[in-house]
Structure 1
Amino acid sequence: MRIGLLGTGPWAGMTHAPALQEHPDLDFVGVWGRRPDAAKELADQHGTHAYDDVDALFADVDAVAVALPPAVQADLAARAARAGLHLLLDKPLATTVDQGRAVVEAVQETGVASVVFFTSRFVPETDAWIAEQAGTGGWFTARAQWLGAVFSGDSPFATPWRREKGALWDVGPHALSVLLPILGDTRRVAAAAPGPGDTVQLILDHASGASSTLTLSLTAPPAASGADVELRGESGVIHLPDSAVGPVPALIRAADALIASAAGGQPHPCDAAFGLRVTEILAEAESLLNANAG
C-alpha cells in the first residue's frame, strides 16, 4: 500500500514517520505539511519525498496517515476519502460533531477503509484485556484515570490545540476507547465538572446499566501522571495491565488493521464511525462543562 503522511509535528516525527518507514507492507511515498521546510526535513530524515501540494500527494498514494490537529485532520481526511484514499487517522477524529460526521459520510460514500489510532487499542496486551473483559461482562462500575503532565515542563506535546481543548479532548479519547468496548455505548454523560488546571471529571451512564467515572488531566504533577482503569463487577475487581509497548509498534499494528480492512472490506472496530461516537460523547461533556461554567 502506497501511503503518504500529513503532518510534520512532534507526533509525526516520533511516531508516524518511523512506523510508516518500518512497516514491511507500506511504501512510504512522501510527506506534506503546513510548513514546507518541516516537511522537507522530515522527508529527508526518512528517505522519502516532500510535497508542497497536498492534492499532488493524494494523487500518488493509496492511503494517508494523518498527524495533525483534529480540526485540520477532519477537513483533510474528508478530502482524502473523496479522493479514494484509505485513512489512518489520529484521535480525536474531530472536535465538533459536524466535522466528524463529514469524515464518516465521505468514508461511507466512497467505501474506503478507515482506522483511528487510539493507541491503547493497538497494544496487544491491552487489546486482549479489553476483549477478555468485554466477554466476561457483569460489570457494575468502572473508574478511569488518564493523567498527563504535558503542561508541567517542556513537553513537545504542549501544542496550541491541546492548550485550547485540554485533557477532555486529548486523553478523553484514550479512556473512552477502553471503556466503551467493555461497558457498552453511553446513554448520556450524567455529569461533567472541572478540576485543577485543565482537569475534568465525568460520570457516564452506559447502555449495559453500568456507570463509569473518568478523571482526565494534562496538568497533573509529573509524579502523579499515568493511566489506570479499574473495573468492579460480578467477577470482582480488575485493573488494566501495564504495558511497555511504545507508540511506534502500536501504530504499525494500526497500519496492519488498515491494510486488512482495505483488503477485506470489513470495518475495523476503531474506524471513523467509532471515532465519531467518541467525538459525540466528548462534545456532550464539553457542553455540560460550558453550561456549568456559565
Structure 2
Amino acid sequence: MLRKKRKHIAFIVGLGQIGASLGYDLMTSRMTAKVIGYDKSPAVCNIARRKRVISDIADSIAEGIASSDIIILATPIRETIKLLPLVCKTVTSGKIVIDVSGTKSEVFRKLKTLNCRAPYFSCHPIAGSEVSGIVGARKGLFKKATFVLVSHDGFDRSSLNTVTNLIKSIGALLLTLDAKTHDRVIALTSNLPYVIALSLAELTASQSKKMPEVWNLAGGGLRSAIRVAMSSPELTFDMLSTNRANVASSIDLMIEQLNYMQRLILEGDDLKLKRIISRANKVAAKVHNG
C-alpha cells in the first residue's frame, strides 16, 4: 500500500483535454511532487511541458510507469483497452493504476482477462467540452465536477484513500457507482445527447439539398443543439461503440418521448404541451446550474 503522507509521482498517458487538464491540476496538487506525461504525439508532449501541464516527458509508457507510482490512463476508450495488457504486465506492487474512460463495461471485460499486479481504479470525471485535444484543456476543469469512481470485484480498499484524496485534491466531488449503473446512466446523460446532435446534424445536411435556405436560417437553437457533434470523431465513436446496448435503450426512450410530443402537437393538446415546456425549463435550469 502507498504511504499516505508522501508525495506521489503521477504519470499521465494521453495528453488530450482530460489528460492535460488533470496534469494542470496535479502539478499544483498537495499530493503530487511531479507529473510525467506521455502522448503518441511528440509535439503534444512538448506543448504540455511548455504549458506546465507536466514537468517531465516519458519516452515510452514503460519508462513512465517505472518512474511513477500513480499511472493515469487518459486515452480514448478503445486505446485504453488496447493498453491494458502492457500496463498490467509492466506495473509492480506499490503502484496504482487509474483510467478515466467514459464507459466502463468493456474496460472491465478486458481487465478480467488480465493479471494486474497493482490496484486498479476506474474513474470518469464528468467534465469537459467539445474542444478536443490539449487546446481544450484548462486549469480547474474538475472543480466541483462529479468524479465517478467505479467499484468492481477487485476493488483494492487499502489504496482507496490515496485515490479519493487525489480526486479531492483537484476539487472534484467523488461519487461511487458500479459499472452497470454508470454505463446505463451515462447512456442517457451523455451518449444520447451525442446521438441526438449527430442525428440533427445529419438531418440538417440531408434536408439542405431540398431546402438550401437551411444554412441561412441556422441560428442559435440549431447551433446549441448540435454543439457536441463538433467533438472528436474518435472519442464520439468510442463512446457509442463501447456502450451499444445502453445507448440503444436510451434511443428507444427518446423515440417514445418524440412520438408523445408529436402526438400532443398534432392533436392540439396545448395544456399538456405547456406543462412539458414548463417542466423542461426547470430541468434545463437544474442541469446548467448544477
- Give the TM-score band, short-chain normalised: 0.3 to 0.5
More strand by share: 1
Write 1 or 2 for the structure with the bigger share of helix. Answer: 2
The structure with higher relative contact order (CA 8 Å, sep 6+) is 1
TM-score (norm 1): 0.46
TM-score (norm 2): 0.46
